Amino acid sequence: MGIKERAKKDENNENRTIILHTFSDMSRVSPTVFVYLLKESYVRGTQKATTKFRVLQQQVLQILQNSPQPGPATFVVQCLYVLPILGQLYTEGFGHLMLSSFRRLQTVSVDLSEAQSLASQLVAAIMGGDVIYGDPFLIKLLEAFDIRMTNIQKAISCREESDGNLDMAKACIEPFISRLIQSESYTTAVTIMEHFSIHQSDQSFLEKMMQQNQFSAAEKWATFMGKAMVCATVQKYIDMKMLRKAYKLIKENDLEQEFSEAYHMCKESALKSLAEKACWDVAELKAHGNRKLLEYLVYLAMEAGYSEKVDELCERYALTGFVNIEDSQAVPPKTRYLTIHELVSEDIIWVDNVDGLLNATSLIEACKLIGVDCEWKPNYIKGSKPNKVSIMQIASEKTAFIIDLLTLSVAEPIVLDTCLKRILLSPSILKLGYNLQCDLKQLSHSYEKMECFKHYEMLLDIQNVFKERKGGLSGLSEKILGAGLNKTRRNSNWEQRPLSQNQMEYAALDAAVLVHIFRHIRNQTPSLNGKDGHAKLEWKSKIVSHMGNSFKLPKTKKKYKKKKVGPGININS
């Protein structure tokens, strides 16, 4: 180490010693010296900014418990007066640091009244533009020292007792609020209005916020102003066709009677949104037994072609007067969906016993290419553990097998494990999936003791072949094959036995469509995915030849090995 480097190191150590010694005895340290030493501690720190902030926050908290004079609260405010001399780069950050540390103090400061008076003067100076701090800091300062209109009045008038006339305080605060509104800092303006109980009944202010999409600030201000302004906000949402926001305000403020028609429209909109996501059970719960809403839900099910849901709702709630879906001419024509008969030439085979499983395994092992998918019953309780995977679908171009995992994992776990290992570990069968990481992770969690769900050979996630992933598998099917998939049964009860024919077809389609999409990819033209046929071979590089239970398919190269298709696999056959 050279002389200069050694001298620099000695200087750093000396400065650190001085800082630590000073911080350990705060009784004679002035705010100016403390602010300077705080800056030195920050500048000489080698960690990232966020980490340094947290460390300093803890240190400042300890320092404030170490008898700074004339008291911790007053000392903090005095430091806030000094901080602007460090420049804008440090003022705001250190200001938040001092306030956050002060608010963490467990003991009530004996000098709080004096500090509140001094902080009120600082607030008045900030609002007047004499001291420069940002709006977020100002809000935290008001909250930390509970500064009210009377405190501002005393600070400005320099009198111990206020005569109840708050004109001077208003003359300071209201122009500041006006400047915030002019600069479109609506959230800060509303927060200060609410803090100082300053009412502004001009509805044009509400319209300004709504026009600028400042909806949170508009709702906060309307709630502060009272019911009439909340009603005006709800009406604005309705006029803007923002029914979800209108519904939220109606519910929060008990305005169902005032907006009964709009409330019903909002409920219908919510049900339609859930139906579009195939969350039929949740939609039914949200209807709360309301006959009008339940009838609307039946029409949504009819429109989606979900006949068993129509029958189920009509039977459960004694709903009558609905024509049969097949005979209905009132239902508008929907986008054409693929049917299982277009994709599978032979049949759908349900597998729930040993003989069926052994037979299915033999037939699947003769294939070079299969589509794999699985289904499980949705769990709508937030934070709860997902349900077990109920079924696994394995499809070739001829046949779709639906394996009852719930039954076989209990009745014949060893046979099930052995058979699935023969399929999933086979290097001569290319296994296709969509969003495979999710399915494999769910299988692993559902059946932790089964070895077949811990290792895989020859996987291709169709999702990773395409850069544009909008619309999920149905969207991809529509793009590649010209027709999408009907997803209305996606969130149905996959644990019921027997599954309905519609459920069976839905499940089989999800696996079978993968094979047909892949066939199209293999024979794709340059115009689909690139020029000169360069993208034609892209899918080969996406194949994962071996994968353990890390389940991170295309990104983490350390956890699995990628290879091109080996010579022993002929996917053209």
Please enumerate in sequence order all residues whose Cβ is within 8 A of that of 246, keeping only pairs 6 or more positions apart, or say none. 234, 237, 238, 259, 262, 266
Q: Angle at the Cα of 140 (from 156 to 226), degrees rounded to 5?
A: 85
CB neighbour class for 93 (10 Å; exposed up to 12, middle 13-18, buried from 19): middle
Q: What's the chain's length in residues?
A: 573
Three-class secondary structure assignment of 302-353? HHHCCHHHHHHHHHHHCCCCCCCCCCCCCCCCCCCECCHHHHCCCEEEEECC
pTM of the model: 0.59
H helices of 25-48, in order, are 31-44
- What's the confidence (pLDDT) of residue 235? 94
H helices of 104-213, in order, are 112-128, 135-144, 149-157, 167-182, 186-196, 203-211
**270 and 247 Cβ atoms separated by less than 8 Å:** yes
Please enumerate in sequence order all residues whose Cβ is within 8 A of that of 273, keeping only pairs 6 or more positions apart, or say none. none
Q: Look up residue 359 and give its two tokens.
A: 């037979």
CB neighbour class for 477 (10 Å; exposed up to 12, middle 13-18, buried from 19): buried
> Could you tell me how far CA 507 lies from the centroid of its own chain?
28
Strand partners for 404:
391
- What's the confidence (pLDDT) of residue 1? 54
Query: Pseudo-torsion of CA 52, 55, 57, 63, nearest 10°?
Result: -130
Q: Give the tens place of pLDDT for each residue, 361-394.
A: 999 999 999 999 999 998 877 777 889 999 999 9
Residue 3: CB atoms within 10 A of its CB come to: 7
Q: Which amino acid is at 102?
A: F
Q: Give the tens place of pLDDT for each residue, 486-533.
A: 888 888 889 999 998 889 999 999 999 999 999 888 876 444 444 444
Q: Give first-to-last CA distance, the chain, whole Å.
A: 70
> Could you tell me how far CA 431 lies from the centroid of its own chain?
31
Give the residue ranges of the chain where pLDDT is below 50: 4, 7-18, 21, 160, 325-333, 525-535, 537, 555-573
Q: Give the tens place of pLDDT for each residue, 538-552.
A: 778 888 887 776 555
**452 and 397 Cβ atoms separated by less than 8 Å:** no
Three-class secondary structure assignment of 449-490? CCHHHCCEEEEEEHHHHCCCCCCHHHHHHHHHHCCECCCCCC
430-433 β-sheet, strand order = 347-351, 399-404, 389-395, 369-376, 430-433, 456-461, 544-547, 560-562
> Could you tell me how far CA 65 lies from the centroid of its own chain?
40
**368 and 573 Cβ atoms separated by less than 8 Å:** yes
Domain ranges (residues) in the chain:
3-147, 260-317, 340-562
d(CA 211, CA 205): 10
**251 and 350 Cβ atoms separated by less than 8 Å:** no
Q: What's the CATH class of domain 340-562?
A: alpha beta
